[in-house]
Structures are given as C-alpha cells and as structure tokens.
C-alpha cells in the first residue's frame, strides 16, 4: 500500500507541474495586458509613464519572458507565497482562502445531496426496469441533465422567493444576522440547483449498474432463498454499484472549487466563482493561477482518495495491487 501511495504522489506532483505550466502559458499568451487597469482610459484617469508601469510590473512579478515569470511564480508558490492580485494588490492566498469555505460548503452540500438522492432513486429505477417507476425517474433525470443551471436558478428564485417568500433570493447571510440556520436557509436554493445535474447523472449510472447486477447469479440466488428484495438491493447490489459512484465523486471533487461559478453569480453567493470570473475578465494572472492550481490540487486529491477507497470498497482490487507490487 505504501508503495502504491508513493507512486501516486509522484504522479500527482508531475501532473501538478504540467497543469501549472499549461495554465500559465494560456494566460501568458492570451491577448491583453495584465496592467490593463492602469493603461486603459476606461478605467484609469491617469496615464502612467513607461517607467512607472515598469516599476509596477516589477513589483507584481510581471517582468521577464514566460519562463522567467513562470519560475518566479513557481518559486514563490513553493514557499507559500501565491503573489499579489494585479487588480487590487492584495495577497491572492488570503482572498482565495476567505472565499474557499463558502464555495466548498455550497458544493459539498450539493454533492452530498446528489449522492443521498441518487442512490435510492437509481436503485429503484434499476429494480423496476421499464416499469412506470423507472420511466418517471429516468424522465426526471433526463430533465435534470438538460436543465440549464442559470435558468433553473432564476425559476426557483421566482417561485420560492418572490411568489412564496419561503427563501431569500440571494446572498449567503441576512444582513445583521449571524447564525448557521440563516446560512443554511440561504443555501437551500443554490444547493438544489447545483445538485440537480449531478443527481441526474448519478441516477443514470446507478440505474445502469443495478440492472447489470440484478442479472448476476448471486442476486437470483439470494432472491430464490427468500431474502427480501430491499435487503438484496442495499446489502449486496449497492456495494457492487459503489465503484462507479466512488469514481464519479472523486472526479467531481475538482468541482468543489469550480463547479458553482454560474450559480454563485445567480444567487450572489460570495464564493470563488465570482472571484475567478473577475480575475479572468481583468487578466489577473496571479489570481487565475491561484484558483486554477487549487482546483488542480483538489481534483488530484479527489482522484487519489477515490483510488484508496476502491481498495476498501472492493478487496479484490487491493489484493490485486498487493500482488502487482510484490
């Protein structure tokens, strides 16, 4: 196991470096000047001299060619210095860390809700394949896959906030109120929007695996021995459906950081989404790199954890790896 973990960590480090170089190159070679805020009359009232601009470039690490700037950035990153935002000259790390819990909370709740809803629905659909139950659940899941998050979010706001007055339309907190219940209340609608698509996808996977597993001999044996169907589903079939779910959850880990951009905008949720969109529009490359690399780390860790959990979910996988590693 330790050999496996060591190997994966090295792989992750290599992937991380390649992603950082790729992301950096895209930003570096995209048109536009990171100091656009100071060179555009639309934003700045004073035209800085070339010397002044050069001084500012130096203080923000924007001098040198692509390789020099990358190495400069990477060196600082390794020491925990994520640089200063080009837009507001504030530390990137602090700004990201301030917003990160808000996004993780939202996405984490959405992911959890998706899994909780998808498991019973997928099992149900798979158990009653081509029956009306399956048709309804499948129909809803197709709808969930197709619904645009932006539109669905606005619809929920109109119905549940404007018409019914059950939930606030935006924000994470009510001004002047400092309670977890208030935050949860603000989070209900965005979490629903975020979970719809994932739930629909997970339902399809679980349904498909359930149908596959139901054909297996152990299931027929258990049923013929008189084991209640629901027990067969949850004690035996579900375990074997877990592998693809673990894969999907692991792959969705990266979305903990990046999956809520649109929904955060619709609901005014103060997370990384808005921070990243502003950074992209203003070519704030230090902020873009900070968020991109954070998303990369989270994705890599998610996949790593998924691989580890595989071993626990299916001992055959663990035994196979042990044989491979000697």
Partner 1 sequence: MKKKLIGMMLCAAMAASLLAGCGSSGSSGSDTAGQTEDSAGQEDKEDAQEQTKDTDDAGDEESGSDSLVIPVSATVTNLNPLLESMAEGAMQLSPYADELYYVDQEETRYYLAESCEVSEDGLTYTLKLKDNLKWHDGEAITADDVIFTADCNVNTDNGAGYTNTVFIGEEQVKYEKVDDLTVNFTIPQPSASYMAVLGHLQLIPAHAFDGNTDIASAEANLTDIGSGPYQLSEFRDGEALVLEKFEDYYGDAPQIDSVVFQVISDPSAQEVAFKNGEINFLPAASDATAEEFKSAKGAELHQLGEGRVKYLAWNKFCDTWKDKDAVKAVFAALNQEEIVAGAYGASMGILANAIFSNQNLFYDDSIKGYEQDVDAAKELAEKSGLAGKTIKLHYNTDRTYMEETALMIQQQLKEIDVNVELEGIDANGFFDVVFTDQADYELYLNEYAAIGDPDSVVAGMYDGTWGINVDTSQEILDLFQKGRETTDMDERGVIYTELQQKAVDEYLVYPIAYPNYCFVTSDSLQGAEHYTTTPVFEDYTKLSFK
Q: Which of residues 217-276 bind partner 1 (CB under 8 A)?
A: 265-268, 270-271, 274-275
**Please, which residue, 72 or 169, has the CB nearer to partner 1?**
169
- Given its phi and psi angles, is residue 178 left (phi above 0), alpha (psi -120 to 50 degrees) or beta? beta
Residues in contact with partner 1, shown as a per-residue x/- string from 170 to 209 under the rule CB under 8 A: xxxxxxxx---xx-xxxxx--x------------------
Angle between helices 92-127 and 285-313 (to 10 degrees): 40
Smallest gap, in angstroms, from Cβ of residue 132 to partner 1?
Answer: 25
As measured in angstroms, the least distance from the Cβ of 164 to partner 1 is 5
- What percentage of the chain's residues is helix, strand, coil (to nearest 5)? 75, 0, 25
| CB of 197 closer than 8 Å to CB of 248 | no
Nearer residue to partner 1 within complex by CB, 68 or 174? 174
In DSSP notation, 81-146 reads: ---B-TTT-SBHHHHHHHHHHHHHHHHHHHHHHHHHHHHHHHHHHHHTTTSHHHHHHHHHHHHHHH
Question: Would you call 40 helix, strand, or coil by DSSP?
Answer: coil
Q: Lay out the site mask for partner 1 across 30-49 (x = CB under 8 A, - = otherwise).
A: xxxx--xxxxxxxxxxxxxx
Smallest distance, Å, CB 235 to partner 1? 9
* 3-state class (DSSP) for residue 228: coil
Backbone torsions φ then ψ of 229, nearest 5 degrees: -60, -45
Asked if 90 is part of the footprint of partner 1 (rule: CB under 8 A), the reply reads yes
Q: How far is CA 43 from the centre of its chain?
A: 33
Contacts to partner 1 from residues 64-83, by CB under 8 A:
none
* Nearest to partner 1 of 59, 221 (CB atom): 59
Stretch that binds partner 1, among 8-16, 51-59, 213-221, 302-310 (CB under 8 A): 51-59
Specify the residue, 268 or 311, whose C-beta has the smaller distance to partner 1.
268
CB 260 within 8 Å of CB 103? yes
CB of 272 to partner 1, least distance (A): 10
Question: Which of 63/169 has CB closer to partner 1?
Answer: 169
**What is d(CA 73, CA 80) in angstroms, rounded to the nearest whole number?**
11
- Applying CB under 8 A, which of residues 61, 73, 83, 99 lies at the interface with partner 1? 99
Which span (6-14, 109-117, 138-146, 201-209) binds partner 1, by CB under 8 A?
109-117
Q: Which of 25, 55, 67, 218 binds partner 1 (CB under 8 A)?
A: 55
Ranges within 284-313 binding partner 1 (CB under 8 A): none
> Residue 160 in contact with residue 152, Cβ under 8 Å?
no
Question: To the nearest whole angstrom, how small is the minimum distance from the Cβ of residue 43 to partner 1?
Answer: 6
- How far apart are alpha carbons 271 and 162 in whole angstroms? 24
**Closest distance of CB 190 from partner 1, Å:** 11
Q: How many residues bind partner 1 (CB under 8 A)?
A: 77
């Amino acid at each position: 196991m330790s050999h496996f973990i060591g190997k994966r960590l090295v792989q992750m480090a290599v992937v991380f470096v390649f992603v950082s170089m790729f992301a950096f190159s895209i930003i570096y070679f995209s048109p536009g000047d990171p100091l656009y805020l100071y060179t555009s009359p639309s934003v700045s009232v004073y035209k800085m001299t070339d010397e002044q601009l050069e001084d500012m470039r130096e203080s923000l690490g924007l001098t040198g060619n692509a390789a020099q700037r990358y190495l400069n950035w990477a060196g600082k990153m390794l020491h925990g210095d994520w640089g200063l935002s080009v837009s507001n000259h504030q530390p990137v790390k602090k700004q990201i860390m301030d917003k990160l819990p808000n996004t993780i909370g939202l996405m984490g709740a959405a992911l959890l809700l998706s899994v909780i809803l998808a498991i019973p629905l997928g099992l149900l659909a798979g158990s009653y394949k081509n029956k009306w139950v399956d048709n309804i659940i499948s129909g809803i899941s197709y709808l969930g896959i197709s619904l645009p998050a932006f539109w669905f979010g606005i619809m929920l706001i109109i119905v549940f906030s404007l018409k019914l007055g059950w939930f606030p339309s935006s924000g994470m907190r009510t001004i002047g109120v400092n309670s977890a219940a208030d935050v949860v209340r603000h989070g209900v609608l965005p979490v629903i929007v975020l979970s719809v698509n994932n739930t629909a996808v997970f339902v399809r996977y679980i349904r498909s695996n359930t149908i596959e597993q139901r054909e297996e001999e152990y299931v027929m044996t258990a049923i013929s021995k008189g084991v209640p169907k629901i027990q067969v589903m949850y004690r035996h079939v579900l375990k074997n459906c877990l592998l693809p779910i673990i894969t999907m959850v692991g792959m969705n880990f990266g979305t903990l950081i990046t999956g809520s951009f649109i929904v955060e905008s619709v609901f005014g949720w103060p997370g990384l989404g808005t921070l990243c969109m502003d950074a992209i529009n203003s070519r704030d490359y230090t902020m873009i790199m900070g968020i991109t690399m954070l998303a990369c780390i989270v994705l890599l860790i998610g996949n790593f954890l998924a691989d580890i959990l595989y071993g626990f979910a299916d001992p055959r996988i663990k035994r196979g790896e042990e044989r491979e590693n000697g």
